[in-house]
Amino acid sequence: MKKFILILAAFCAILMTSCTKQPAAKQDDNAGPAMRTVTITAKIDEPVTKTSYAEGTTFSWTAGDQISVYCSDGNAYTFTATSTAAETTFTGSLPDGVNLGSRAFFPADDNHNLKEYQYSIPETKDMTGHPSADIPMIGDKGEGDSYAFKHCCGASKLTITNIPDKFEAIEIAVSHPSLKLSGVFGVFTDSGYWRWNPKTASTDAEKNFVRKVAVVDNEASIYIPYASGSEWWGTNTLAVTGFDAANEATTLVSDKSMKSIGAVERAHVKPLTPLVLSSLQFVDWASEDVETSTLDPSNSKKALTELKVTSDEFFMYCRVASTVDAFTGDFLDIYLSDGDGGDNYAISNSSHYWNTGGTVVYREEHKGNITASSLSMTFNGSSIETVVDKDGDNIYWSMAFPRSAHELLSEGTVYVAFMLWNGWSCAGAIPSRYTTMLPVMLH
């Protein structure tokens, strides 16, 4: 009997357990529609001769490039290139029930608007993580899941070279007083492709085009898109900012005027003359690699007391030291020699030196008002970067001379001297006013 009661109790427990309601799975009211992965094919539908970007190369998608694809629900979805090639596949995710649309924009941007036929170029963009030409294109859907892209405009390629080693990235900012370089552009079809006409900027932001790019082998480039017929580029200004490993910013170029580049056709890129940066502000004048000539003029009116010279591939860097009391004139001249005069390299030996085109530094007003700022200087007709430091009564001029400006700076050893014209009554080259020739091996 006891055994029967135990069996009956166990059976009832099983029945009670099987009849207990299980809690329903909680529904996620915020869950979106199911997504599916979609792969498309994209190519450039232009003749090879019209896709030349620079140096004889043709356009190629870069792995990681992104396009905005407009779909049947009226929204744009981002697709990413899977490889680097002229024709490649892009993958993206679409909600179930949503189909690919008839258009796609490159590069991807949330502000493109197919319904209003508007293409967006952002004022600023960080491209350090993904280098790309980034020139505007619009693609039309063809058979299957393929898109054929055509360029909307032309572009110029601006390269910055000889970037100092300390910088891992630079920001290049181009601005124009009136031309629209960024913002939203209305597009229309013309002869089988989408494009826009040159526009006048309606806001200050639209006058700017700013891109941050990675530095590779001391060089970086950007592509600046603009509509065919935008021949208003003579008054553009350029600024360049360097960023080191800690992302600390340093101004490298400020408000530099750009020359006119003329007309650029749609689907063409015109390379501009590379801008070569000097490292003047980063020269370590205490380095053992810097040639130094310490001077001690015997004349009571001291002039130049020290000359330091070094170089890189593009520039010869010089620093001369003087004092406020040395000034009664207006000019600092540079002299170069090939050394053929044997030991007689003093600039008073006029048969063995060249005053290179009347190189001068102009002194601001008179000696009591000399400030620690750059002064005007030319070298064989070229503008020279100068930095002037003032420490009490001591003055230090630092100058960057383009090696392309004079044949003696091309290679090998050059002999360098400076003269400070401290008094127009001087007869010839008075020794207390000039440095001796300093032989410099150009790097």
Looking at the structure, do residues 188 and 202 belong to the same domain, yes or no? yes
289 secondary structure, DSSP code: T
The residue written with tokens 């390269």 in the block is 159
Q: Which contacts qualify for 349-355: CB closer than 8 Å, 24 or more apart?
A: 353/415, 353/417, 353/437, 354/408
pLDDT given at position 339: 66
CA-nearest of 132, 382, 157, 379 to 274 is 157
- Residue 378, phi then psi, degrees to nearest 5: -130, 155
Looking at the structure, do residues 233 and 297 belong to the same domain, yes or no? no
Largest separation between any pair of C-alpha atoms in the chain = 140
Contact 325, 337 (CB under 8 A): no
Contact 151, 193 (CB under 8 A): yes
pLDDT given at position 125: 96
What is the mean pLDDT, run by run of 10 residues, along the chain of 443 residues?
44 44 47 89 72 52 92 95 91 96 94 90 94 88 94 90 96 92 92 87 96 96 83 76 98 88 80 92 92 66 78 93 66 70 43 39 38 54 79 84 85 80 47 67 82
Domain enclosing residue 313, as ranges = 282-441
Partners of 251 in the β-ladder:
241
Strands 269-271 and 154-161: parallel
Q: Could you give the CA distance from residue 113 to residue 139 in angstroms, rounded to a whole number? A: 14
pLDDT given at position 277: 96
24 within a domain of the structure (yes/no): no
Looking at the structure, do residues 227 and 196 belong to the same domain, yes or no? yes
Burial 311-328 (b: 16+ CB within 10 A, else e): bbebbbbbbbbbbeebbb
Tokens for 107? Answer: 């590069």
The residue written with tokens 């005069």 in the block is 341
CB-neighbour burial class of residue 146 (10 A; exposed 0-12, middle 13-18, buried 19+): middle
Q: For the sheet containing 382-383, what is the strand order? A: 360-361, 377-379, 382-383
Strand, coil or helix: 105: strand
CATH of the domain at 356: 2.60.40
Tokens for 41? Answer: 């094919």
Looking at the structure, do residues 168 and 218 belong to the same domain, yes or no? yes
Looking at the structure, do residues 224 and 360 belong to the same domain, yes or no? no
Q: For the CA atoms of 276, 281, 285, 287, what is the dihedral angle to 10 degrees?
A: -70
Number of structural domains the chain divides into: 2
Tokens for 125? Answer: 């963009």
Looking at the structure, do residues 375 and 246 belong to the same domain, yes or no? no
- Of 230, 251, 277, which one is at a domain's C-terminal end? 277
273 within a domain of the structure (yes/no): yes
Number of other CB atoms surrounding residue 111 within 10 Å:
13
pLDDT given at position 286: 93
Looking at the structure, do residues 95 and 79 belong to the same domain, yes or no? yes
78 within a domain of the structure (yes/no): yes
Looking at the structure, do residues 160 and 264 belong to the same domain, yes or no? yes
Q: Could you give the CA distance from residue 227 to residue 186 in angstroms, rounded to a whole number? A: 12
104 within a domain of the structure (yes/no): yes
Amino acid sitting at position 96: D
Q: Could you give the CA distance from residue 184 to residue 68 in angstroms, rounded to a whole number? A: 15
- Of 261, 277, 293, which one is at a domain's C-terminal end? 277
27 within a domain of the structure (yes/no): no
Sign of CA dihedral 406, 409, 412, 418: positive
- Residue 173, phi then psi, degrees to nearest 5: -120, 120
Looking at the structure, do residues 273 and 286 belong to the same domain, yes or no? no
Measured at the CA of 166, the angle between CA 258 and CA 245, to 5 degrees, comes to: 110
Looking at the structure, do residues 127 and 176 belong to the same domain, yes or no? yes
Looking at the structure, do residues 250 and 183 belong to the same domain, yes or no? yes
Looking at the structure, do residues 358 and 388 belong to the same domain, yes or no? yes
pLDDT given at position 114: 83
87 within a domain of the structure (yes/no): yes
- Helix (H) or strand (E) holding 269, with range, is strand 269-271
Q: Could you give the CA distance from residue 189 to residue 170 in angstroms, rounded to a whole number? A: 36
- Residue 157, phi then psi, degrees to nearest 5: -105, 120
157 within a domain of the structure (yes/no): yes
Strand, coil or helix: 273: coil
10 within a domain of the structure (yes/no): no
Length of the chain as a residue count: 443
CA-nearest of 162, 163, 160, 200 to 181 is 200
- Of 242, 277, 312, which one is at a domain's C-terminal end? 277
Number of other CB atoms surrounding residue 97 within 10 Å:
10
- Residue 330, phi then psi, degrees to nearest 5: -125, -5
Contact 161, 272 (CB under 8 A): no
Q: Could you give the CA distance from residue 349 to residue 339 in angstroms, rounded to a whole number? A: 11
